[in-house]
Copies of this chain bind each other. A is one copy, B any other.
Amino acid sequence: MKKKLLSNFSCKDCKYLKNSMFDELNDDEINNIYEAKSCSFYKKGQVLFHQDTYPLGVYCINEGKVKVYKVGDDGKEQIIYLAREGNLLGYKSMISDEKYHVAGETIEDAQVCFIPKSMFMEILFRTPTLNKRLFKEVCHQLGVMTDIITNMAQKPVRERLAIVLLLLKETYSTASNENEPIVLNLTREDLANFVGTATETLIRLLHDFKEDNLITTNGRKIQIEDTTGLRKVANWN
């Protein structure tokens, strides 16, 4: 299922290098990463790494989107965040030396580079630039998570949905597609599992938002029509 690509292109030429954790590395250091990695093709819906298993390495997304989620005690998925091109995945549990708390699964056909654990750890601890960069990133993410916890605990579903939509726009927008609809390969259920609500509730709220001209939808395409309005609904920032 996991097809190995014939060509293993250089990280230095990766168009997402500047958005990655490797953006501050010098040529030699980048080359170390390049030599350690291998790149593979994953079909939509494939799992990169499983919850409750030990990390085997880290994943760097070259093409496609990945949903990172945790399965709760009752078997329902909670999407923690969506990762996109350039993002590094699966390193946190590796560093803390425990099983994955979450799983990572492609939501569209993807191309993902893999660096085996031993190699990554070795590079990580002999490359201060990378070490510092990742350390910072992890600390930043902790702050973001406290924000999410607070929102989950205090905000009603409607506001959380508005936030998620705004977030998705950010995750999916590039310079080129600024005003195009977000084509997210997320089912309504996924979306509900991101917001933290039931699928039916999510659908009803999307309906409301459409009536209020905040968004338009066409199947799984969602177009944000009124960012300001959404932000107001979210009672955010």
Please list the residues of chain A having a beta carbon within 8 angstroms of any beta carbon in chain B. 70, 72-74, 76, 78, 80, 91-93, 95-98, 101-102, 125, 128, 131-132, 135-155, 196, 235-236
Contacts and interface: CB of A to CB of B under 8 A. Distances in A.
For the complex formed by this chain, how many copies does it contain in all? 2
Given A73-B236, A146-B70, A136 B97 contact: yes
A97 B137 CA distance: 10
B146 A80 contact: yes
Contacts of A98: 140, 143
A76 B102 CA distance: 29
A149 B95 contact: no
28 contacts: A70-B147, A72-B150, A72-B154, A73-B154, A74-B235, A78-B153, A78-B154, A80-B146, A80-B150, A92-B142, A92-B143, A93-B143, A95-B136, A95-B139, A96-B137, A98-B140, A101-B144, A102-B146, A131-B135, A135-B135, A138-B138, A138-B139, A142-B142, A145-B146, A148-B149, A149-B152, A152-B153, A153-B196
A74 B235 CA distance: 8
A142 B102 CA distance: 11
A74 to B, nearest CB: 6
Given A74-B235, A145-B142, A149-B152, A136 B96 contact: yes
